[in-house]
């Protein structure tokens, strides 16, 4: 098993786990930010790559992923919100990504794209936007290590949690290839919503504003963890 794919089984072991989304962190002080997050005991970092086309916002690419790789040993969970991701997955792997997640809405052939990611040695994730039905990822699930259920419309931090998407978790679990896939929920996770998500079986909880809008990251993360509920 590749080193990077091993991070999937270690994340399963520590789940439910909170992954900070770096979208709202202080990019001028990354080293200090990572020290504070490592002190807070986070298990991995969530990196939001936006191309200004697939989503109406623009963040960063491989160069910043490579810079982050040099600053931390934590697994890098890279969320690609871009068109034509197949052109760049090898470069994101080379930059140090451990998990590379692509959107089913950004490809005509998700199984092939996930296989391409796996062939690099990275763990492969498939993401689904709030308005996209689970049936769209059914064919892709057997090729994925992780399924990301967006609980906000992709593109920005600080948005309101879209609770009905949680139904997708059980739908995914009931499909071939979904039985023990690692399940991630991304967007609007805070002390009011994390209990609902974990109760439905979410294993990785991506949180941005709920952490980076707080002074004390350790306190913010322990407050979130104190609201985690066991799956029904």
Applying CB under 5 A, which part among 52-60, 119-127, 183-191, 211-219 lies near Zn ion?
Answer: 183-191
Q: Is 21 in the site for ligand DX5 (CB under 6 A)?
A: yes
Q: Enter the DSSP assignment of 99.
A: E
Q: Is 188 in the site for ligand DX5 (CB under 6 A)?
A: yes
Query: Could you tell me the smallest distance in angstroms from the CB atom of residue 184 to ligand DX5?
Result: 10
Render 156-203 in DSSP notation, one character per residue: -SSPPP-GGGGHHHHHHHTSTTTTT-EEEEESS-STTTHHHHHHTT--
Applying CB under 5 A, which part among 76-84, 128-136, 158-166, 214-222 lies near Zn ion?
Answer: 76-84
Active site residue 48: yes
Asked whether the bond before 16 is cis by omega within 30 degrees of 0, the reply is yes
**Which one of ligand DX5, Zn ion, none is in contact with 204 (Cβ closer than 5 to 8 A by kind)?**
none
Q: Is 59 in the site for ligand DX5 (CB under 6 A)?
A: no
Q: Which of 48, 77, 98, 145 is catalytic?
A: 48
Q: Which of 210, 220, 221, 224 binds ligand DX5 (CB under 6 A)?
A: 210
Q: Which of 68, 186, 190, 194 binds Zn ion (CB under 5 A)?
A: 186
Tokens of 85: 């991701």
Angle of helix 62-71 relative to helix 30-39, nearest 10 degrees, comes to: 50
Q: How far is CA 16 from CA 12, 90, 183, in A?
A: 8, 29, 10
Angle of helix 30-39 relative to helix 217-225, nearest 10 degrees, comes to: 40
Residue nearest to ligand DX5 (CB): 208
Binding letters toward ligand DX5, positions 146-165, x by CB under 6 A: ------x-xxxxxx------
Helix or strand run (H / E) with residue 8:
helix 3-14
Q: Is 98 in the site for Zn ion (CB under 5 A)?
A: no
């Amino acid at each position: 098993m590749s080193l990077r794919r091993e991070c999937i089984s270690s994340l399963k072991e520590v789940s439910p786990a909170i992954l900070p989304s770096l979208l709202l962190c202080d990019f001028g002080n990354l080293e200090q930010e990572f020290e504070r997050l490592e002190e807070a005991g986070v298990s991995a970092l969530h990196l939001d790559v936006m191309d200004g086309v697939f989503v109406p916002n623009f963040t960063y690419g491989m160069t910043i992923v490579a810079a982050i790789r040099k600053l931390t040993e934590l697994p890098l969970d890279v969320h690609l919100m871009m068109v034509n991701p197949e052109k760049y997955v090898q470069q994101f792997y080379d930059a140090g990504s451990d998990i590379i997640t692509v959107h089913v809405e950004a490809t005509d052939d998700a199984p092939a794209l996930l296989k391409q990611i796996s062939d690099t040695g990275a763990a492969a994730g498939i993401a689904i936007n709030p308005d996209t039905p689970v049936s769209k990822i059914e064919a892709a699930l057997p090729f994925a290590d992780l399924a990301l259920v967006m609980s906000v419309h992709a593109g920005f931090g600080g948005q309101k949690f879209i609770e009905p998407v949680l139904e997708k978790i059980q739908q995914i679990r009931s499909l071939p290839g979904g039985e023990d896939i690692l399940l991630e929920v991304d967007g609007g996770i805070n002390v009011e919503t994390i209990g609902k998500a974990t109760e439905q079986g979410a294993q990785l909880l991506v949180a941005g504003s709920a952490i980076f809008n707080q002074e004390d990251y350790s306190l913010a993360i322990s407050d979130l963890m104190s609201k985690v509920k066991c799956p029904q």
